[in-house]
Structure 1
């Protein structure tokens, strides 16, 4: 497995910013605006942007609900990964796309916090990536009817626990949109 230190590049990974996923999302417009800000910054700094689109019975591929929200639009040069599982790495070519681009650091935004965002953070982390979650650029819908906490609590809890993620040669951290740094600083060697 490659380690984050083997690949110095950073990617902005936009997960499931789709019409059907964000239709009832908490703070939808605020989160989409923050994602748009980060996409513009990444492009301006020549940082790759990779888009992920989930498909399922509720999100049939190539339908209106499956499309990325109109406020966001992948550039023709940007990779679009189609997935069927929560972890964006599972049964996709995401790992290959990142390897070819020399990416070892994921800056993660999108939806849903308690599903595909969490799964992808953990999937990337266990595959050797540093993973930064942008605290004000991910969201979920209200699933309290099924026993989940309210969306604001899900988001806050995810931000809290991800800020403490560590593993040999890898770091997890949480920053706001304003504090995203696409350039990684070298890690100090483990003692």
Structure 2
């Protein structure tokens, strides 16, 4: 269980599902649909949905690439965490937002697998959170031209190694969208 005292709640982190990030991403529509399913499930269970939005030279605040994809709409009152580093916790108020809501377990979905998703799941884990990665609700761009593995291999490898992460007093897990539970421990593996 989480090493954070008095934090029995879960939250869904929707990381960087922005136009410029998702453009051309493998399984774009499937991943966005799965994230949408997670958002609706979390809302139905009164679970915090926390939106994370990256900005940098290519994702300038207010620009079309910076905007969240039109398929996903943040509701009034759902926190929006602006960030400029890969780890959604780094130099943001994410930790304060989660503490205020008594969150000790985060369920993570979004993009990009090999950058902001990996940074965020590790960032949460080292800060004491139980971290569930939604195996079929994250993707990344094709960087094979720069020597990276194919996107499908990046997501598969991330799902594989995260399933076996361990640390005292915390859990790491990978589940598919259909098996995500927000109360208690996750069910099933991806």
Q: TM-score range by the shorter chain?
A: over 0.9
Q: 1:116 maps to which residue?
A: 116
Q: How does 1:74-153 map to 2 (within 5 A)?
A: 74-153=74-153
Q: 1:174 maps to which residue?
A: 174
| Cα distance in 2 for residues equivalent to 1:181 and 1:165 | 19
Q: Is the 8 A contact 1:4 1:130 kept in 2?
A: no
| Cα distance in 2 for residues equivalent to 1:145 and 1:50 | 33
| Cα distance in 2 for residues equivalent to 1:114 and 1:5 | 30
Q: Is the 8 A contact 1:16 1:68 kept in 2?
A: yes
How far off its partner does 1:62 sit?
Answer: 1.2
Q: Is the 8 A contact 1:4 1:170 kept in 2?
A: no
Q: 2:9 maps to which residue?
A: 9
Gaps of 5+ in 1: 186-191
| Cα distance in 2 for residues equivalent to 1:181 and 1:46 | 12
Q: Deviations over 1:26-55 (max 9, x none)?
A: 100000000000100000000000000000
Q: 1:30 maps to which residue?
A: 30
| Cα distance in 2 for residues equivalent to 1:31 and 1:144 | 20
- RMSD (Å), alpha carbons: 1.2
Number of equivalences: 185
| Cα distance in 2 for residues equivalent to 1:21 and 1:64 | 11
Q: 2:62 maps to which residue?
A: 62
| Cα distance in 1 for residues equivalent to 2:160 and 2:177 | 16
| Cα distance in 2 for residues equivalent to 1:6 and 1:118 | 26
What SS does structure 1 have at the residue aligned with 2:120? helix
Q: Is the 8 A contact 1:109 1:134 kept in 2?
A: yes
Q: 2:50 maps to which residue?
A: 50
Gaps of 5+ in 2: 186-190
